[in-house]
Amino acid sequence: MPRYRLHCFSVSGNCYKVALYLNCAGLDWEPVLVDFFGGETRTPEWRAAVNEMGEVPVLEVDDRKLTQSGAILSYLAETTGKFAPANAEERLDALRWILYDNYRFTSNFGTRRFLKSFAADAPDPAVLAFLKTRTDGALGDVDAHLSSRKFMLGDAPAIADFSLAGYLFYPTEETGYDLSVSHPHIQA
């Protein structure tokens, strides 16, 4: 049995960022597919057994269940040493970008993608426009940061890059962005 078990579903960028890390780090893991759209994470049984917050991803490791993608990435970097920040200053910078990702980047980009591509009802155009403005700003900030470096912390990928990458690989039809045109430093 693999050491790591990731409760996840395929259209979640937050699940994707952890799965991407596990693959790139060469760690032995397996997915535990969750029927998110069928309501599995909202059941009292699932919340009691897996995650009281009713969210994925959830990483099972050594009889623990870790939640929240940023916390999971931090744990994995600290315990494996792979894609870990090199020193205390880089750890703070990685945390800064992970928090930025959760507050500004993924929250707006992911919500807009969900409403645009998966919501049962057509989204309010004003809401989509608001989220696009916020997403444009966040993408612009990250693209500008990457204009002078290969990765968020410098010349090598680190957990901040995995955090920010969560929603960047979905098709243009879902996201509304062709990053190779609109944000070339992110695409690179």
* pLDDT tops 90 at residue 168: yes
**Tens-digit pLDDT profile for residues 29-45:** 999 999 999 999 999 99
Read off the pLDDT of residues 88-143 as tens digits, 9 standing for 90 and up.
999 999 999 999 999 999 999 999 999 999 998 989 999 999 999 999 999 999 99
Give the mean model confidence (pLDDT) for residues 13-25: 98
**Same topology for domains 4-80 and 88-187, yes or no?**
no
Give residue limits of the domains in the chain. Answer: 4-80, 88-187
pLDDT at 6: 98
Topology classification of domain 4-80:
Glutaredoxin (3.40.30)
Average pLDDT along the chain: 96
Which contacts (CB < 8 Å, 24+ apart) does range 176-183 have? 176/112, 176/113, 176/116, 176/132, 177/135, 177/139, 179/139, 182/139, 183/139, 183/140, 183/142, 183/143
Quick one: what percent of the chain has pLDDT higher than 70? 100
What CATH code would you report for 88-187?
1.20.1050.10
Question: In this predicted structure, what is the pLDDT of residue 65?
Answer: 98
pLDDT score recorded for residue 1: 86
